[in-house]
Amino acid sequence: MPKPATKYGRNELCYCDSGRKYKKCCLKKDLKEYGRSIKYEEIENSWGKEDWDKEGIDEEILALYQEENFNDAIELLEEDHHDYPHNTDIMMLLAECYITLHRFVEAVRVLLRAKKIKPSDPEIVYNLGYVLTCMGRASDGIGYIKTAYELKPPRELKRAIKKLLNKEEELLKKCEDRSHKISLEDDLKLYDEFLEARENLYQRNFKTALEKYKSVFEKNPAITGCLVNMGICYLNLSLPEKALELFEQAKRKDNDILTLLNIAKAYKALKNDDQIEQVKSEILTRVKEKPTLMTQRTLVRLISGFIEINELKDAKELFTTFKKFQKMPQVKFLSGVIYAQEKNYKEAIKEFEIVIDDFGVAELYKKKAEQLSQGKIKTFNFEPLTIVDNNETI
């Protein structure tokens, strides 16, 4: 009997000898037959507990986490969390991945479930307090952190909590605190509305997305993502002045590097080359100052954005600088786009071929690169699409 899909490597060649990657072949069948219909105890009898490490975390997931490939790690962890809903080790690592990607609300939801299972676990309670503070609920967060201290945490965690609580007043002044303005339950519902708006954005329904973002922002002006995404909607609706205004407002709130990138895109639409150069220089300076903070998600969006504003040289520099991400499918795809835009179709074809199993659009791009190299067509727009999953692009 084959191993359940949560263990078998998604990118390995499938065990059925089809020659296809496992995730494109028997994954769905195995999830249904082995992963969704039987409990962990029953799986142990079939394929051995030794296939899991002592904490119950799959080795492939740990490798993805250590490689800072958090999106793929989340995908597998969510599957495992569905299959083993009482495994708090899985929940804790999933929450940590969410936090790293600033997906604080999703982290809160996972940690609240973990706390129901282990209400007296100081690490779970502390992490919940930490992420609530990040989410803009400082009073709630500090309350949980104080509770964690009372639960007799390990020495290292106890020391960290004590240091944090010594700066409680400073934290409350610096951090946003809407704990007394909106209940946590209503805050989480508001996030669901935000996700609904984002879904419309991904589907390129910009007018609908804009109205939904406006509604969320009216209820909670602290959600900086609303400002940025409303700006993206305006940019795609050919209203770059309004987009720039919102991006600048978002920059004043958190000065995120991806907000700077959106500002550069707005200046591109406004044909202001001097401002593009200035913003681009600021982005590259920040990347060089803190290269260790670069995540795959940020790198992909920076490369994609530089291609959009026709700064191919800087896009290539980012690609070569962060070698640890070069084999990631999304980065490979964007490398193909750069080659194609430079009319180096031979190399573009190679890159698109590698990621065809990961992204359906790569097959189209490979075909168009072949046609261009053979002179069968004269032009094609190789857009630097950001892949959300196999069926979605933005």
Look at residue 31 in the predicted model and tell me its pLDDT. 59
Confidence of residue 358 (pLDDT cuts 50, 70, 90): confident
How sure is the predictor about 17, in pLDDT bands with cuts at 50, 70 and 90? low
Domain end call among 36, 51, 66: 51
- Max avg pLDDT among 33-42, 56-65, 247-256, 293-302: 247-256
Q: Does some domain include residue 298?
A: no
pLDDT for 63: 81
Task: Give the count of domains, the chain.
Answer: 2
> Mean pLDDT over all residues of the chain?
83
Query: 165: which 2 tokens?
Result: 């609580």
Q: What is the 3-state secondary structure (H, E, C) of the chain?
A: CCCCCCCCCCCCECCCCCCCEHHHCCHHHHHHHHHCCCCHHHHHHHHCHHHCCCCCCCHHHHHHHHCCCHHHHHHHHHHHHHHCCCCHHHHHHHHHHHHHCCCHHHHHHHHHHHHHHCCCCHHHHHHHHHHHHHCCEHHHHHHHHHHHHHCCCCHHHHHHHHHHHCCHHHHHHHCCECCCCCCHHHHHHHHHHHHHHHHHHHCCCHHHHHHHHHHHHHHCCCCHHHHHHHHHHHHHCCCHHHHHHHHHHHHHHHCCHHHHHHHHHHHHHCCCHHHHHHHHHHHHHHHHHCHHHCCHHHHHHHHHHHHHCCCHHHHHHHHHHCHHHCCCHHHHHHHHHHHHHCCCHHHHHHHHHHCCCCCHHHHHHHHHHHHHHCCCCCCCCCCCCCEEECCEEC
Cβ neighbors of 17 (< 8 A, separation 6 or more) are none
The pLDDT score that the predictor gives to residue 13 is 63
* Structural domain includes residue 360: yes
Task: Confirm whether 232 is domain-assigned.
Answer: no
Q: Determine if residue 208 is left, alpha or beta; phi over 0 gives left, psi from -120 to 50 gives alpha, anything else beta.
A: alpha
pLDDT of residue 9: 53
Across the range 303-322, mean pLDDT stands at 90
Q: Tell whether the model's pLDDT for residue 37 goes beyond 70.
A: no
Model pTM? 0.68
Last residue within a domain, chosen from 51, 68, 87 = 51
Assess if residue 158 is contained within a domain.
Answer: no
Domain that holds residue 38: 1-51
In a domain, 81, yes or no: no
Residue 381: the pLDDT is 93
161 inside domain: no
- Other CB atoms within a 10 A radius of the CB of residue 156 amount to 8
Query: Token digits for 383?
Result: 């857009």
Would you say 321 and 352 are in contact if contact means Cβ atoms under 8 Å apart? no
Q: What percent of the chain has pLDDT over 70?
A: 83
pLDDT band at 115 (very low <50, low <70, confident <90, very high): very high
pLDDT at 20: 65
Residue 176 forms part of a structural domain? no
Q: Is 17 among the domain residues? A: yes
The residues, ordered by sequence, that sit 6+ positions from 71 with a Cβ below 8 Å of its Cβ are: 101, 296, 297
Higher pLDDT, 168 or 32: 168
